Amino acid sequence: MLHRWFGAARWLWNTALEIRSEAYRECGLTLTGNDVSRWLTQWKSTPGHEWLALVPATSLTQCLRDQDAAFRNFFAGRARYPRFKRKSTSGSLRFQGVGAAWPRGVATLPKLGALKLAESLPDVERPDLVTLSRDPCGRYHVSFCAQVETSLLPITQRSVGVDLGLKDLATLSTAEKIANRKRYHARLRYLRQQQRCLARRQKGSRRREKQRLRVARARARVRQERQAALHVLTTFLVQEFDVICIEDLNVKGLGRGRHARAIQDVAFNEVRRQLAYKSEWYGKILVEVDRWYPSSKTCSACRHTLDELRLDERQWKCPKCGTFHDRDVNAARNLLAEGLRQLAGRDDRDLRVDAGDACPEEILVQVLAEEARSGQRNRACLEQLAFG
Ligand SMILES: [Zn+2]
Tell me how many degrees the CA angle 315-320-323 measures, rounded to the nearest 5.
40
Q: Which amino acid is at 340?
A: L
pLDDT greater at residue 257 or residue 12: 12
> Average pLDDT for residues 75-95, to the nearest whole number?
88
First and final CA of the chain: distance in angstroms?
60
Query: What CA–CA distance (Å, rounded) separates 191 from 184?
Result: 11
How far, in Å, from the CA of 336 to the mean position of ligand 1? 17
> Edge to edge, what strands does the sheet with 140-144 contain?
91-96, 129-134, 140-144
pLDDT at 359: 44
pLDDT at 255: 46
Tell me how many degrees the CA angle 372-271-337 measures, rounded to the nearest 5.
60
How far, in Å, from the CA of 6 to the mean position of ligand 1? 62
Question: Does residue 279 contact residue 286 with C-beta atoms inside 8 Å?
Answer: yes
> Average pLDDT for residues 155-164, to the nearest whole number?
86
How far, in Å, from the CA of 321 to the mean position of ligand 1? 4
How far, in Å, from the CA of 233 to the mean position of ligand 1? 30
Q: How many CB atoms within 10 Å of residue 224?
A: 11
How far, in Å, from the CA of 324 to the mean position of ligand 1? 8
pLDDT at 226: 83
The upper half-sphere exposure of residue 284, i.e. CA atoms within 13 Å in the direction of its Cβ, equals 30
For 63, list phi and psi in degrees, rounded to 5. -60, -40
3-state secondary structure at position 126: coil
Q: Over the stretch 115-134, which tens digit does the pLDDT of each residue have?
A: 999 988 877 888 888 999 99
The residue among 229, 221, 224, 333 whose CA lies nearest residue 274 is 229
Q: Over the stretch 186-209, which tens digit does the pLDDT of each residue have?
A: 888 898 889 889 989 988 889 998
The residue among 347, 240, 349 whose CA lies nearest residue 298 is 349
How far, in Å, from the CA of 251 to the mean position of ligand 1? 29
Active-site residue set: 163, 247, 328
> Average pLDDT for residues 308-321, to the nearest whole number?
84
Q: Over the stretch 338-388, which tens digit does the pLDDT of each residue have?
A: 888 887 764 444 444 433 343 445 555 555 555 555 555 554 554 554 443
Pairing of strands 324-326, 315-317: antiparallel
Query: What CA–CA distance (Å, rounded) separates 37 from 4?
Result: 20
Query: What CA–CA distance (Å, rounded) separates 246 from 162?
Result: 5
Question: Which CA distances in Å does 170 have to 164, 173, 229?
Answer: 4, 10, 11
How far, in Å, from the CA of 247 to the mean position of ligand 1? 21
Distance of CA 377 to the CA centre of its chain: 24
Residues surrounding ion ligand 1 at CB below 5 Å: 299, 301-302, 304, 318, 320-321, 323
State the virtual CA torsion across 85, 90, 94, 99 in degrees, nearest 10: 170
Residue-averaged pLDDT of the chain: 81
Percent pLDDT > 90 in the chain is: 22
Residues ≥6 apart with Cβ < 8 Å to 77: none
List the beta bridge partners of residue 245.
161, 287
Question: Does residue 81 contact residue 74 with C-beta atoms inside 8 Å?
Answer: yes
> Average pLDDT for residues 143-167, to the nearest whole number?
83
The residue among 198, 159, 179 whose CA lies nearest residue 357 is 159
pLDDT at 13: 93
Residue 172 has pLDDT above 90, yes or no: yes
Question: What long-range pairs does 74-83 form, CB within 8 A, spacing at least 24?
Answer: 82/17
Q: What's the pLDDT band for 31 if we cut at 50, 70, 90?
A: confident
> Average pLDDT for residues 25-45, to the nearest whole number?
85
Residue 45 has pLDDT above 70, yes or no: yes
Q: Is the dihedral of CA 194, 196, 199, 202 positive or negative?
A: negative
pLDDT greater at residue 380 or residue 278: 278
Q: Is the dihedral of CA 187, 192, 193, 197 positive or negative?
A: positive
Question: Which CA distances in Å does 367 have to 85, 124, 363, 376?
Answer: 48, 35, 6, 11
How far, in Å, from the CA of 274 to the mean position of ligand 1? 34
